[in-house]
A and B are shown apart, each in its own frame.
Chain A
Amino acid sequence: MTRGVSDLTGLLQAWSRGDAQALEQLAPLVHLELRGVARRMLSRERQADGWQPTDLVQESYVRLLDWRVVRWQNRAHFFATTARMMRRVLVDAARARRAVKRGRGVDPASLEGVDVAAPAPFVDVLALEDALTALAALDPRPSQVVELRFFGGFSVEETAEALGVSVRTVINDWNTARAWLRHELTARDAG
């Protein structure tokens, strides 16, 4: 089935109004788009170009929009939407990979460092997702900070803009949330 543009725009609009089901339908499309992004990230040419992951992500987000309808939403909404969508898609990707790997009897789903200058620490993204959900129940704001920073790849300033809080607040939330999540993930490993 060919999916029309109006579907995408309608889904995005519905989702921006809080329709959780629209996200369900959006996720596979965004996943498709992000795969293209990932391919380009891995291509030599793009690396030479010096583009950052977030540029590509934003490009992919913009590519899904019908600007005749969505037009000028504000930046805060843009940041928040992008981050939420990425979180969803990346967690799904990790989940799918775990399913594959379990079948082969190897390690749990992980985000391994790829093509970055310093090897990035191992992150069990599914465990992170659980811990992040638990954190949101305590205080939604730090979990949103993590969503924007880690999944969305946004800067501290952009995160502050997206959440309508000060840069200081973002930094404080980020500090505590990282330590908290690190502890939670370690405890999980130990348990």
Chain B
Amino acid sequence: MSTDRWRLLSGWHNAWLAAGADERDSLRRQFVEGHPDLAAQANALASASAGLGGFLETPALALVARDLTLDDPLLDVDSLVGPYRIVGLMARGGMGDIYRATDVRLQRDVALKLLAHAGTDDTQRIERFLQEARVTAALDHANIVKVFDVGVLDGRPYLVAELLDGETLRVRLGRGPLAGEEATRIAADVAAGLVVAHAAGLVHRDLKPDNIFLTRSGVTKILDFGIAKLTDDPAVADGLSTLTGVLLGTAGYLAPEQIRGDAVDGRTDLFALGSMLFEMSTGQRAFAREHTIDTLHAILHDDPPNLLPAAGVSPDLTAIVLRLLEKAPAARFQSAAGVERALADLARTPAAPSVPKTPPRSLVAARPPRLVWIAAAALTLMLGGTMLLNRRNVAPEMPELVEFPILPPEGSSHTNLAVDFNVSPDGRHVAFIANSKAGSSLCVRSLASVDVRTIRGTDGARNPFWSPDSQSIGFFAGNQLKTVKASGEAAVVPLTSVSMPEGWESSGMAPAGSWNSQDIVVFGPSSDGNLYQIDVKRGGMATPVTTPVATRATSLHRRPSFLSDGQRFLYVGGLGTKNELRVGSLTTPDTVVIGTFESPVSYAEGHVFFTRGGNVMAQSLNEETLRLEGDPVPLRAQLRTDMPGNRGFSVSTNGRFVFLRAPKTEPQLTWVDRSGRPVGVVGAAEVSGGSLDVSPDGQQLAVSKPVRDGEAQNDIWLIDLATGGATPLTDDHAGDYDPTWSPDGKYVVFNSTRLGGLSLFLRASDGSGVDVPLATFEASEADKFAVASWSRNDILIFNVLTKNGDIDLWTMSMSGDRTRRVFVSSTQSELNGTFSPNGRWVAYQSNASGRYEIVIRPFPDKDPARTISRDGGKYPRWRGDGKEVFFVSPAGTMMAAAFDPTRGVAQGEPQPLFATQIRVGDNRPYAVAKDGQRFLLKVGPDQQMVAVMDWRTLLDR
């Protein structure tokens, strides 16, 4: 049966269910006659419907609960656990069972908490449990439960504590709110316990009514310091570090900083105390929502409901509760002692008469006035219906910042360019480019779901842009401008060929397009510096719409963006720090310059967006007068700034804002296997220029890294691969880059800017002696010498930037007179030469074909080069036996080409291994273990593409 037939059957079945008993039989017969192939199914549905009862109506977990706990049998009464005789079960909790027991030695009644079995992977839980015992046993205070003993029974750890007579605050709250004095007293008791715990460096982190015990004699006890963290003891904190970020608390009592994964301290417990005090006073949870995910959202963004005055809570106590519930720890009480004092003062002074339903004036005034646009954003959200985080609680005060990450499809990564994505004009989809080992493809993701669709036939796609109706996407692939339906349902349509400017990948000159409602696309830059237009419907030849006014080097026109009339368009001219923002027109050749920016510019919704430092700035543009109005204002969006292309954000016409977020963690130098799976981490990848070279004995890594973060002085460092320890090899105020080892491991060759240009130097790897110049800019006909490789026959091969502006490969005999000889020279560039292990072959990259390919040439003969890459390649490296050459494809995929080092022939097609984050512009951004099984390279945190529902929510208020 097909899906269509199933749905037909289901449609009939529901009509049949809705029909009266008298009609059903005729409905069934009609259907069976009309669809004899479905007769058996229809009859079966009809008869099964009669006896359904509550079939499947009870959720599976409720049915299976007992099955799930079979592994943890209850202890029999009178059985012995160490010296403790079980008297009876008191409670079953999430983590274990609590028994009443008798210490047979002391004839004292105790509470025994036996942890549940955790399967085979038990270490963490046992550690946590023992930690609980250790830290709690160290505390001696009337308001903290006393721990006597700890042990393990059949792999189940247990804890012995003083036996308490009474009930938990949770149970008490089940009978309704508490009187003001009682709530105040309990809160003061908890605060007193916290004073002692915090002084001992302990934060509870999981305070909630279940963990507060009210004894019959009227004493409040804090239970379960089980996930407490010894903030001042690194040794203990280490053991618990794996717990950081896991939310172990009951959601409703978590503090905002816990949800964010930020640092936790004593003030975190004060927030929980505030939540409990709120609940004790009003009988309502401050942030309860139907779903946990909504509760967490409410804790982060919502004010507590205004229930305290109506519940008769005095203004003074209200003020204390609200201060405890401040989102920012710095705005709360700063110590438990402060809370204890405030509550004590309250208890001493007679309760001020409360004024129900009228919050104190000061609290009203303390709320910042909400701007109209927040309500507008909420409205957009409601109408769009896309990202409703809480449809039951949609109030005018919607989340300030609704954001979520956009992940690439399985097995792929975001591209290394910051311009490779755009949000659709209607804000419903994001088009972006994902790299997999098969290459780059156009992907579309709805902002309403996590599904990512890879559009077929878009291999090699870059820089997508949307049609104004959000139905189609234009993109660049190879030297073509193409379009495709965003639904992916129709084939890709090639529009026109594009002559891309050379080196656009690394220069920020990436081509871009803008599509108006008459289906005219303006795109560029092209290699002649012009922007072109083409009619999407009619096709034909693209024609220039701008003409460069100065020389090519200063006036590549780029980043077109139509204004709302669809005739005029913004674009950027100029280079570097002198970007002119201009307005061109489809109908007149006139150009208006409206401003100068340090960065490229985007336009949406009457605003010009540009970057300054790591921030996105927005400035209003009057389309009538073509004047910028007001001052630029920063958005609270920490942009990733280390990407070529330098934009990293996109704005839809209804205000959706998608950007690449600055990663919170640093990339790591990581060993990966041939599938790209990490198999070891060397350490932080604070290396410059990217070049990595492992010593011939495999013990050390030579890198270039800044002396201090962000400083221009880069030295060559040697990193011990076993320990991660790093020591500087060179010490010069200029930049030293691209280290490479001699085959015997005794020397490191590197290039340096210390003489101006780039010169090659030699230094003993044990640090002795001084830097010895090999080929210097000063005394030479060339500007730059860089990126050497040293053969086993003591030949050095290196890049030379000639006066003509292209790169050639030269060699130098290290054992002879060090005379320099030209190895390969052409009008194109040949660079990054690397000797095969036997010294007979040089693999290098050449752009003789128009783009960089990997070629191999015998040495020292000058036989013709054999190209071994198929679709471009950079950064060749050899396997230790010379039988494989590795390189990186233009899309960033690590490739492996089999090679016969005896006969000098490639064997078969290069095979893709894994997608890397290697960026354009680095020199030797990875190293290979001798056996070719492991690769050392920078592995950064995943590219964080983040969507925000309205960019105005990112404005500082």
Residues of A in contact with B (beta carbons under 8 Å apart) = 1-5, 8-9, 13-14, 16-19, 28-29, 31-32, 34-45, 48-49, 53-59, 61-68, 70-78, 86-87, 90, 93-94, 97, 111-116, 118, 120-121, 123, 125, 138-139, 142, 146, 149-153, 161, 164, 171-173, 175-176, 178-183, 186-187
Determine whether the beta carbon of B66 is less than 8 Å from that of A114: yes
Residues of B in contact with A (beta carbons under 8 Å apart) = 1-3, 6-7, 9-11, 13-14, 17, 41, 44-45, 47-49, 51-72, 91-95, 116, 118-119, 121, 123-124, 127, 168, 170-171, 174, 210, 242-248, 250-251, 259-261, 291-293, 296-297, 386-391, 402-405, 407-410, 448-450, 664
Determine whether the beta carbon of B51 is less than 8 Å from that of A182: yes
Q: Sample 24 A-B pairs with CB under 8 A, ordered by A number.
A: A14-B410, A29-B121, A35-B72, A38-B68, A43-B91, A48-B174, A59-B250, A66-B261, A68-B664, A72-B404, A73-B404, A74-B386, A94-B67, A121-B55, A138-B1, A142-B6, A151-B60, A173-B10, A175-B17, A176-B10, A179-B13, A179-B44, A179-B45, A183-B44
Tell me the nearest residue of chain B to A7, going by C-beta: B242
Q: What residues of chain B lie closer than 8 Å to A3, measured between beta carbons? A: 121, 124, 242
Determine whether the beta carbon of A38 is less than 8 Å from that of B448: no
Determine whether the beta carbon of A74 is less than 8 Å from that of B53: no
Q: What residues of chain B lie closer than 8 Å to A38, measured between beta carbons? A: 61, 64-69
A123–B59 CA distance with the chains assembled, in angstroms: 11
Determine whether the beta carbon of A93 is less than 8 Å from that of B64: yes
Determine whether the beta carbon of A178 is less than 8 Å from that of B52: yes
Determine whether the beta carbon of B91 is less than 8 Å from that of A36: no
Q: What residues of chain B lie closer than 8 Å to A176, measured between beta carbons? A: 9-10, 13-14, 45
Q: What residues of chain A lie closer than 8 Å to B13, measured between beta carbons? A: 175-176, 179
Q: What residues of chain A lie closer than 8 Å to B409, measured between beta carbons? A: 17-18
Instruction: Tell whether A66 pairs with B246 under 8 Å between CB atoms, given A2-B123, A39-B69, A114-B63.
Output: yes
A113–B389 CA distance with the chains assembled, in angstroms: 34
Top 3 A-B pairs ranked by shortest CB distance? A153-B59, A68-B261, A111-B63
Determine how close the nearest CB of chain B comes to the CB of A15; give it in whole angstroms: 10
A8–B244 CA distance with the chains assembled, in angstroms: 12
Tell me the nearest residue of chain A to B168, going by C-beta: A45
A5–B64 CA distance with the chains assembled, in angstroms: 27
A14–B404 CA distance with the chains assembled, in angstroms: 16
Tell me the nearest residue of chain A to B125, going by C-beta: A32
Determine whether the beta carbon of A164 is less than 8 Å from that of B64: no
Q: What residues of chain A lie closer than 8 Å to B450, measured between beta carbons? A: 16, 73-74, 77
15 more A-B residue pairs beyond the given contacts A17-B410, A32-B119, with a C-beta to C-beta distance below 8 A: A5-B244, A5-B246, A8-B246, A35-B69, A42-B66, A57-B61, A67-B259, A75-B293, A87-B60, A113-B63, A121-B55, A139-B10, A150-B60, A180-B45, A182-B55
Tell me the nearest residue of chain A to B408, going by C-beta: A17
A39–B114 CA distance with the chains assembled, in angstroms: 13
A151–B118 CA distance with the chains assembled, in angstroms: 23
A45–B63 CA distance with the chains assembled, in angstroms: 19
Q: What residues of chain A lie closer than 8 Å to B93, measured between beta carbons? A: 39-40, 43, 45
Determine how close the nearest CB of chain B comes to the CB of A2; give it in whole angstroms: 5
Q: What residues of chain B lie closer than 8 Å to A54, measured between beta carbons? A: 59, 61
Secondary structure at chain A's binding surface: helix, strand, loop or mixed? Answer: helix
Q: What residues of chain A lie closer than 8 Å to B259, measured between beta carbons? A: 67
Q: What residues of chain B lie closer than 8 Å to A57, measured between beta carbons? A: 61
Determine whether the beta carbon of B62 is less than 8 Å from that of A18: no
* Residue of B11, B65, B389, B449 touching A164 (CB-CB under 8 A): B449
* Residue of B124, B261, B296 touching A2 (CB-CB under 8 A): B124
Q: What residues of chain A lie closer than 8 Å to B407, measured between beta carbons? A: 13, 16-17
Q: What residues of chain B lie closer than 8 Å to A175, measured between beta carbons? A: 10, 13-14, 17, 49
Determine whether the beta carbon of B410 is less than 8 Å from that of A19: yes
Determine how close the nearest CB of chain A comes to the CB of B925; give it in whole angstroms: 24
Tell me the nearest residue of chain B to A73, going by C-beta: B404
Determine whether the beta carbon of A97 is less than 8 Å from that of B70: yes
A182–B51 CA distance with the chains assembled, in angstroms: 9
Determine whether the beta carbon of B52 is less than 8 Å from that of A67: no
Determine how close the nearest CB of chain B comes to the CB of A154; give it in whole angstroms: 9
Q: What residues of chain B lie closer than 8 Å to A64, measured between beta carbons? A: 246
* Residue of A62, A76, A94 touching B251 (CB-CB under 8 A): A62
Determine how close the nearest CB of chain B comes to the CB of A65; give it in whole angstroms: 7
Q: What residues of chain B lie closer than 8 Å to A161, measured between beta carbons? A: 391
Determine how close the nearest CB of chain A comes to the CB of B238; give it in whole angstroms: 12
Q: Which of A13, A65, A171 has the largest number of chain B CB atoms within 10 A?
A: A65
Q: What residues of chain A lie closer than 8 Å to B260, measured between beta carbons? A: 67-68
Q: What residues of chain B lie closer than 8 Å to A152, measured between beta carbons? A: 59
* Residue of B9, B174, B242, B449 touching A5 (CB-CB under 8 A): B242
A34–B55 CA distance with the chains assembled, in angstroms: 23
Determine whether the beta carbon of B55 is less than 8 Å from that of A123: yes
Q: Which of B64, B65, B118 has the largest number of chain A CB atoms within 10 A?
A: B64
Determine how close the nearest CB of chain A comes to the CB of B302; give it in whole angstroms: 15
Determine whether the beta carbon of B59 is less than 8 Å from that of A62: no
Q: What residues of chain A lie closer than 8 Å to B71, measured between beta carbons? A: 35
A146–B330 CA distance with the chains assembled, in angstroms: 47
Determine whether the beta carbon of A179 is less than 8 Å from that of B61: no
Determine how close the nearest CB of chain A comes to the CB of B400; give it in whole angstroms: 12
Determine whether the beta carbon of A67 is less than 8 Å from that of B174: no
A86–B59 CA distance with the chains assembled, in angstroms: 11
A67–B256 CA distance with the chains assembled, in angstroms: 11
Q: What residues of chain A lie closer than 8 Å to B56, measured between beta carbons? A: 123, 146, 149-150, 178, 181
Q: What residues of chain A lie closer than 8 Å to B388, measured between beta carbons? A: 75
Instruction: Tell whether A116 pairs with B62 under 8 Å between CB atoms, given A35-B69, A179-B45.
Output: yes
A170–B68 CA distance with the chains assembled, in angstroms: 30
Instruction: Tell whether A114 pairs with B94 under 8 Å between CB atoms, given A34-B68, A72-B404, A175-B13.
Output: no
Determine whether the beta carbon of A172 is less than 8 Å from that of B124: no
A75–B259 CA distance with the chains assembled, in angstroms: 17
Instruction: Tell whether A182 pairs with B48 under 8 Å between CB atoms, given A32-B118, A49-B174, A62-B292.
Output: yes
Determine how close the nearest CB of chain A comes to the CB of B59; give it in whole angstroms: 3
* Residue of A13, A121, A150, A186 touching B48 (CB-CB under 8 A): A186
A35–B118 CA distance with the chains assembled, in angstroms: 9
A58–B252 CA distance with the chains assembled, in angstroms: 13
Determine whether the beta carbon of B6 is less than 8 Å from that of A138: yes
Instruction: Tell whether A139 pairs with B3 under 8 Å between CB atoms, given A63-B248, A67-B245, A179-B52.
Output: yes
